[in-house]
Amino acid sequence: MIVTVTLNPAVDKTVEIARLVPGDVNRARSVVSMAAGKGINVARLLRQFHLPVAVMGFVGGYSGRMIEDAVRKLGAESHFTRVRGDTRTSTNLLSDDGYVTELLEPGPEISERELYRFKREFENCLELGELFVLCGSVPRGVPKDIYGSLIRRCREEGRKVFLDTSGEALREGIREKPFLIKPNLKELEYLVGRRLSDREDVVEEARKLVADGIEKVVVSMGPKGLLYVDGKEAIYQPAKKVDTVNTVGCGDSVVASLCMSETAGETPDIALLKAASLSAANASAPGTAWVSLERYLELLGG
């Protein structure tokens, strides 16, 4: 079983409009709401491929109940910690000109008692799986080094960890040497403190992270593709060319695909090809982290 942790999940609302006009009335053509947050997106994709998944995180209020119900309908195990505050809503505005505008709420503030209950549940879930996926932002009230403490416990129990976060949560998390990290280009630049102007720069900084104890670094570079670095090799995978409809969830698609490849023991080149194909399938569909398997197989073979 794969365990995903989403500390700050959301109800993801996708709104289609003709064109976003700031300061004016914008009428929606369609609105779709679904359970989201990076780890939940990963879980949704894994369930499309029938992998067993358990999902953790903080949920509260009506939105939190919606997320719990959605996770159970996926056929995943729900191990959420309920909190007093309301789970946030993230609104993605998709306009016909191709622009995607995201409105992200901060989410609830977590109390010490709620954090304690989450950590206790995490200890219980350590028995469920061999691979843990720690994703997304850290909610208010939770220390920035939370991912580091969770990674440390996983390592003590012989569990692999994929880490996909940003900012200080990423900086603190890598101190405990997760098995794999998947920063995008901006997140890697923040981490290393400088602009990375070309692929050689990215490889250089990724190799430093590997030398420091992280086994695998996968950098997602949007339309420029994916870059994989470990202690033996660096592999570049161009992005698959598609008509982009929605970029939200593309990074989560990469993480989900890497999870499947890791559990299957696939080579890095195959893992990157599959990750690029699943990410492109997500980009070419209006939903978030729910792809057409037919389109995915078409991209994989093309």
- Closest by CA to 221, choosing from 171, 272, 260, is 272
CA distance 202 to 185: 8
Angle between helices 185-192 and 199-211 (to 10 degrees): 60
The question of whether 97 is a catalytic residue gets the answer: no
Phi and psi torsions of 183, nearest 5°: -75, 155
| Token pair for 165 | 């976060």
118 touches 134 (CB < 8 A): no
CA-CA distances (angstroms) from residue 219 to 84, 193, 226, 237, 253? 36, 16, 6, 10, 13
The 10 Å Cβ neighbour count of residue 47 is 19
Active-site residue, selected from the candidate residues 97, 243, 252, 269 = 252
Catalytic residue positions, numbered: 252
